[in-house]
Structures are given as structure tokens and as C-alpha cells.
Amino acid sequence: MELSTLKYKFYNIYKEDLSQSKTQVAVKTYFSPGRVNLIGEHIDYNGGMVLPCAINLGTYAVVSRRQDSSVKVMSMNFEEMGILSFELDQIENEPAMDWANYPMGIFNEFIKRGHAIENGFNILFYGDLPNGAGLSSSASIEVLTATLINDYLSFGLTKTEIALLCQKSENEFNGVNCGIMDQFSIAQGAKDHAVFLNCDTLTYELVPAALKDYCLMIINTNKKRGLVDSEYNTRRKECEIAFKLIQKGFHKRPIKYLCDLTPIEFLEVAELLSDDAVYKRAYHSVVENFRTHESKKALSSGNLIEFGEWMYSSHESLKNYFQVSCKELDIIVDLSRNIRGVLGARMTGAGFGGCAIALVEKDKCDYYIEKVGRSYNDKTGLKADFYIAEISDGTGAIHESF
């Protein structure tokens, strides 16, 4: 949907409120990206290094303040649900509020921290991210809501503070035990750069993602991500168990997270982990962290062939050790391996369905889409969607005249 169409709809939907206002109402527009993680999967909650980037698919919002203390939100993606509203002094997670529980949680978190929000907002959202496909549509809307509140009310939060506020809201208000990677990369993303983030200290480096003759292809398996929340929590618990056992038996230095260990140090203490699942989760975490360091070096030095190899090995580890892949994602990666001009492919995000990414030679993109699309459909009966992603800036106001 064009931005001008979205604005037109905004004026139509909220016309009564806008016409009642005695003063000129400031209407602003914002964009918040989704993200793909290039490498460093399931280690943000283990103090690891991750390498995500913000993408040009995401969520748009048209916004104005209200005279009263109501917040009235609507999404063009769920138009049939109409306007959903809540009062700033009565915020509670309610199933009937459906998707609006995400923006609502953000208002709640600002208020809980003592930021006074007296007047409410009208917000019209529209997203071109496929929902529930692992490209972080929820973090996109969270960071969008926090950014617009921070901007309208001049609260002065930094992007890192916004990311942390959003993560807290998702953990506590929405009950999803996510790490910091999604909100951080969406808030701090930069055009044509990946975010090399230390999830323990939150220090980061923007790494130029010079993909040269290659493009970043996103492949949505359209396999619904069943079980993702419960399996995600199980993986987190298994990692905690592994960490506690290792922490007790590792005497070289104090460690805070699984990812503080090098792969060799891990092998020295691996026998402490007698449970097979716990061992496998920890092994993946430590080696994935190493892979992320090496991949970052490869990307910085323009060695895309090596980078692609790391992508494949990350996928293998997520499949065999962390066990968060699924048949559909594996098929996409296997098909990719057999196409000339593809340097690497892997699942991205939490897994159990959703999206894979691949580095595909620009000239071969059409061929890739045709070939992978057809074979995938033959093997699964599902139709995959393909997007050629651009790496974009993080969340912010859109500056243009209307």
C-alpha cells in the first residue's frame, strides 16, 4: 500500500476526532523494519554474538495525538477488526485486543516507568511483513510504537533503551520470553549494514554488508510456526541447565553465559552434560557464537564464499543440535545447495517454520525463485514466497511533504 493511501485512510477513519480538534493536529508517519538474522541463532539469550539486519519490509504508522486519554489503534492488515481502543489509565492484556496487545504493552511499559502520557493517540498501522513468519513483525510494531511515543513526548530515550523497553514489554505484557536481538536490530539497524551485537554488553558494531553481485533472498516456507513458543521456552531452559552445570565445573575463570566459553573450553567440560538434549543445545550455542565471529570477519573482508559456508553449517547445527528446524526449512536449504550461484542458506529466526535466507547471485535470482519454488511445491504441497530484501535503516519518522 502506498503511504499516501495509508494517510488518506487515516484521515477518513479518524475524521471525526480530527475535525473536533480546535488546533492544527500534527500528523506524522513512521516506518519500522522487520529483521533477518544473518547468523548467530538462538544465542542472544546465551550472551552470544548475533549478526542481524533490518530489512525494507516492515510496519508503517500514521499518527496523531488525541484531546482525551484514549488510544485508538487500527491495522489495515486486520481491517475487519476495526478500531481497537483502550484508556491510558486502564491497560491490561486482553485476548479480545488481539494484535493491539503489542502496542498496548508499550504504552503500559512507558507508564510503569513513570513517563507521564496524558493525552492519547490515534494510530493507523499497515505492515508488509508476512505475519508470524519469523521476520519479527511483533518487534517491528513494538519498536514503532515506542519510537513514536518517545518522539511525540520528547522522552529522550536512546535506541538501546527503546529496544530494552520493548523486550521487557514483550516478555512481561505479552508473555513471550524473547531475547534482545529482534528489538535491538530493528531499533539500531542501518542501511546496507548488519548489526554485530554482543547480547551480554549490548555493545555493537555496524558491519558493511557489501553483498556485491549477490542478493539476500528471503524464502517464506509458509509453514505455520506451530509450537514455537513452547519449544522456544524449552530450549531456553535446556540452555540454562547446561550453563549451571558447566559454571560449577569450569574453574579457569568465572563465566556469565554459555557463550563465554570457546569451543575448545566447551569440549573440556562437555562430560558434565550427561543429558543428550542439554549437551546438544550447549554445543550449538558455543559453536554458533564462534561461527558468528568468523562470519563477521568474512563479511567485513568481502569473503562471501566463506560467509555462505558458515550459513550452511549454522543451519546444520540448528537442525541437528538445537533441533529447531523443520522439514520445510531443510528442503529449502537442500534445494539451495544444489543451485549454482547460491553461496549459502539457512533458517532465520526462532525456527519451526517461517523463513529461510539465501545468498543468491543477482543474475540467478529469477532462476532460483522458479526452480526452488517448483521443487518445494512438489515436495511439500506448499507454495513458498520469495522476497529480495534490501538492508534498511532502523525505525524512525518518515520525512516527506504531503
Return the C-alpha cell found at 46. 546465551
**Contact between 42 and ligand GLA (CB under 6 A)?**
yes
**Contact between 238 and ligand GLA (CB under 6 A)?**
no
Closer residue to ligand GLA (CB): 69 or 174: 174
Q: Among 31, 44, 63, 97, which residue interacts with ligand GLA (rule: CB under 6 A)?
A: 44
Catalytic residue, chosen from 89, 128, 182, 276, is 182
Asked if residues 323 and 280 have their Cβ atoms less than 8 Å apart, the reply is: yes
Task: Quote the CA–CA distance of 307 and 294 in Å, as a whole number.
Answer: 8
**Contact between 288 and ligand GLA (CB under 6 A)?**
no
Closer residue to ligand GLA (CB): 39 or 63: 39
Beta strands in 348-393 (DSSP E): 355-361, 385-389
Closer residue to ligand GLA (CB): 333 or 350: 350
**Contact between 318 and ligand GLA (CB under 6 A)?**
no
Return the C-alpha cell found at 398. 518518515
**Residue 89 is among the residues annotated as catalytic for this protein:** no
Task: Quote the CA–CA distance of 81 and 111 in Å, as a whole number.
Answer: 26
Closer residue to ligand GLA (CB): 13 or 350: 350
**Contact between 178 and ligand GLA (CB under 6 A)?**
yes
Return the C-alpha cell found at 177. 520470553
Q: Which residues lie across from 59 on neighbouring strands? A: 32, 127
Task: Quote the CA–CA distance of 187 and 147 in Å, as a whole number.
Answer: 9
Task: Quote the CA–CA distance of 319 and 335 in Å, as a whole number.
Answer: 15
Site for ligand GLA in 337-396 (CB under 6 A): 349-350
Q: Applying CB under 6 A, what is the total number of residues that bind ligand GLA? A: 11
Shortest separation between residue 44's beta carbon and ligand GLA, angstroms: 5
Task: Quote the CA–CA distance of 100 and 97 in Å, as a whole number.
Answer: 5
- The number of residues in the chain equals 402
Shortest separation between residue 227's beta carbon and ligand GLA, angstroms: 13
Rounded to the nearest angstrom, the gap between the alpha carbon of residue 346 and the centroid of all alpha carbons in its chain is 15
Closer residue to ligand GLA (CB): 181 or 211: 181
**Contact between 166 and ligand GLA (CB under 6 A)?**
no
- Which residues carry out catalysis? 182
- Applying CB under 6 A, the residues found at the interface with ligand GLA are 37, 41-42, 44-45, 178-179, 181-182, 349-350
